[in-house]
Amino acid sequence: MTGLSDVGYSTEAIAAGEAVEAVVVRFAGDSGDGMQLTGSQFTRATALAGNDLATLPSFPAEIRAPAGTTFGVSSFQIQFGARSVATPGDAPDVLVAMNPAALRVHLPDVVVAGTLVINSSAFTDRNLAKAGYEVSPLDDGSLDNYQVVAVDIAQRTVEAVKEFGLGHGDARRCKNLWALGLMYWLYGRDPGATLEWIARKFAHREDLAAANRAALLAGHAYGETAELGPALPRTHVPPAERAPGRYRTVTGADGLTWGLLAGAGKAELPMVFASYPITPASGLLHTLAGLREPGLTTLQAEDEIAAACAAIGASFSGSLGVTASSGPGVALKGEALGLAVSAELPLVVVNCQRGGPSTGLPTKTEQADLYQALYGRNGDAPLCVLAPASAADCFSMAIEAVRLAVGYMTPVLLLADGYLVNAAEPWQIPELSDWEDFPVRFHTDPDGFHPFLREAATGARPWVKPGTAGLEHRIGGLEKDFDSGHISYEPGNHQRMTDVRAQKIRGMADAIPEQDVAVGGLSGDLAVVSWGSTYGAVNQAVRRSRMKGREVAHIHLRYLNPLPRNLGPLLRGYDRLLVPELNNGQLVNVLRASFGVHAEGLSQVTGEPFRIAHLEHAFKEILEA
């Protein structure tokens, strides 16, 4: 590793800094300022320093929104701590603002008396006007309640990289690394990993490599030498307590792709992953397309319908078919999913939800496709629906999706979301042997075979690999006879087959764990019931409420269809139920309809994850009402 000696990194210096439990930092700038990259580098350095962490990237849907505008601002928030960190944090303690628009958009979120690190070079009349400032906030006293560190970052960057002969534009573009260097100094981070990354990234452009390196080190050195005083005191966030083992950071997208592959491995199947690009699901296809695993085939299909159909075809041929998309694409897949339900083929469908309806909010998160997952097909077409709770849980639930799909010959829909797929957290690398193998045994015996005979325990029909002699058969989306599997429009038969398909999915409750209570007792004043990516925020809010003496329990669902078999009785044990969701009230209605319980909804559809304080306040209100 390069690093330590090069930049005068020393552990004593950090240890001398102020020790803090947890910090929330947000980097914000123009879409072209490299904020996502800055954030992910900072995340890696922070993970290597041993903190627990959670991240929230946020970027506009436009690739290059006009520079300097408020709608072109891109940001990356990270919370890191010496204790367990469940969310990216409600409010930044430190905001790094690379231009006036970034300051304008993000200032309202910053904690009272928080720290603002501002690139004053960008505070020109033109940029101020674009951001809607009549007077510079650096001059009018409006920032008096904050700790302001205004540095002409761009100017200093240009000077630091002068010797490498870059054009002015290229030189200025290194300013995010200068800011990153300063933040590395502030939190005593080792820049080594970033220096390595620069060397790799610019392996073919020695001048850019040198300039980026120089900018990073200049930012770091600035912190070291400038007398920033009380405005920017060095801060020490001690490493979090962790079980010994090997760790890495994982995003939900990583977790899903690795989990799907692990699932295919456990099933001893080749995997065909077919997808059509859509934010925020594209990353899955990007990652898988880059792998060289002979058992994996990827297809960028011509549209989402084709992607779903190709995955179904792959499953028919004896591979594991997987397709991934976001809400609009899943809408297109609807008819094909019905075919998979009718043909009773295994299939895994990942929905990385985003804000809707229609094209909605491509880069913002929402949980509003639950109804679509449960009911969004013609006819009575039940399928299994799962929802991972965190980036790490994406790995487990992807394996689980494969296990259930092949075990029950059914499509399984995994409901992730934009926040989950982009969020990063440290992860103890699991042993694959912690999950049981579930090798698929294809049916090969022609004796008494028909394609819709069922296994008694699961209701699953036999899976036959084409190529198996003597088992040639035809399937399709027309209703089939319960006994022979041939086409049948007979009234009683359709009733029977509809019942069987419903029962098969209901019966999967036997193969999934009973619902547990994440925090709190089995009964009490209030249970908060959540699902999917809101786990961290709800969990923290419940814990904080309990510390204040409120009797609140947290129940978090990862299995949405079928629901765990003990869920009804469990819910009835509480006086009140509150269901916070990032939609206009979907799970809350499912629970009311399924169990006849009186549940109240707490809806938020701002495109942003819940804040802990907001939830805690809601719990308090409901308990005091």
Partner 1 sequence: MTAATASPKPVDFASDQQIRWCPGCGDYAILKGIQKTLAGLGVPQENLVFVSGIGCSSRLPYYLETYGFHTIHGRAPAVATGVKLGNPALDVWVITGDGDGLSIGGNHLMHVLRRNLDMQILLFNNEIYGLTKGQLSPTSKPGTRSPTSPRGAVDTPVMPARFALGAGARFVARAVDTDPKALGVVLERAHEHRGASLVEIYQNCIVYNDQAFAAITQRGRAADNTIRLRHGEPMRFGANGDRGLVLDPASCALRVVDVGGENGVPESELLVHDERNAALAGLLASMQPPDLPVALGVLYCDPEDQSGTDTERSPVQLAAVDRLLNEGHVWRVAG
The full 3-state SS of 508-548, as one line of letters, equals HHHHCCCCCCCECCCCEEEEEEEEHHHHHHHHHHHHHHHHC
Quick one: which of 353, 279, 271 has its CA closest to 317?
271
In angstroms, the CA 158 to CA 151 distance is 13
Give the position of tokens 């819910």: 571
β pairing state of 147-151 and 115-119:
parallel
Closest distance to partner 1 from the beta carbon of 587 (Å): 30
Q: Which is nearer to partner 1, 406 or 555 (CB)?
A: 406
Q: Which is nearer to partner 1, 48 or 148 (CB)?
A: 48
Q: Which is nearer to partner 1, 47 or 180 (CB)?
A: 47
The answer to whether 254 and 229 are in contact (CB under 8 A) is no
Tell me if the bond preceding 382 is cis, omega within 30° of 0: no
Closest distance to partner 1 from the beta carbon of 3 (Å): 14
Q: Which is nearer to partner 1, 185 or 258 (CB)?
A: 258
Closest distance to partner 1 from the beta carbon of 533 (Å): 22
- Gyration radius of the chain over CA positions: 27
Give the position of tokens 């209701």: 459
How many angstroms separate the Cα of 196 from the Cα of each of 41, 193, 209, 212, 214?
11, 5, 10, 11, 13
Tokens (6 digits) for 466 = 């084409």
**Beta strands in 333-382, from DSSP E residues, in sequence order:** 347-353
In angstroms, the CA 382 to CA 458 distance is 15
Q: Which is nearer to partner 1, 116 or 399 (CB)?
A: 399
Residue 321 β-bridge partners: 272
Q: Which is nearer to partner 1, 294 or 492 (CB)?
A: 294
Residue 385 has phi, psi (to 5 degrees) of -125, 125
Residue 53 β-bridge partners: 80
Q: Which is nearer to partner 1, 272 or 324 (CB)?
A: 272
Type of residue at 185: W
Burial of 236 (0-12, 13-18, 19+ CB in 10 A): middle
Q: Which is nearer to partner 1, 243 or 456 (CB)?
A: 243
Closest distance to partner 1 from the beta carbon of 281 (Å): 18
Report helix, strand or coil for 299.
strand
In angstroms, the CA 586 to CA 601 distance is 9
In angstroms, the CA 503 to CA 416 distance is 26
Closest distance to partner 1 from the beta carbon of 215 (Å): 22
In angstroms, the CA 428 to CA 431 distance is 9
Q: Which is nearer to partner 1, 330 or 508 (CB)?
A: 330
Give the position of tokens 């002409």: 152
Q: Which is nearer to partner 1, 29 or 376 (CB)?
A: 376
Q: What is the dihedral of CA 123, 128, 131, 135, to 10 degrees?
A: 120
Tokens (6 digits) for 80 = 């890191």
Q: Which is nearer to partner 1, 317 or 566 (CB)?
A: 317
Residue 78 β-bridge partners: 25, 55
In angstroms, the CA 283 to CA 159 distance is 37
Could you tell me how far CA 270 lies from the centroid of its own chain?
26
The answer to whether 491 and 542 are in contact (CB under 8 A) is no
Q: Which is nearer to partner 1, 427 or 559 (CB)?
A: 427
> Residue 534: CB partners within 8 Å, gap ≥ 6?
367, 580, 581, 582, 609, 610
In angstroms, the CA 511 to CA 494 distance is 26
Closest distance to partner 1 from the beta carbon of 255 (Å): 10
Q: Which is nearer to partner 1, 111 or 440 (CB)?
A: 440
Q: Which is nearer to partner 1, 380 or 516 (CB)?
A: 380
Q: What is the dihedral of CA 508, 510, 513, 516, to 10 degrees?
A: 110
Closest distance to partner 1 from the beta carbon of 454 (Å): 20
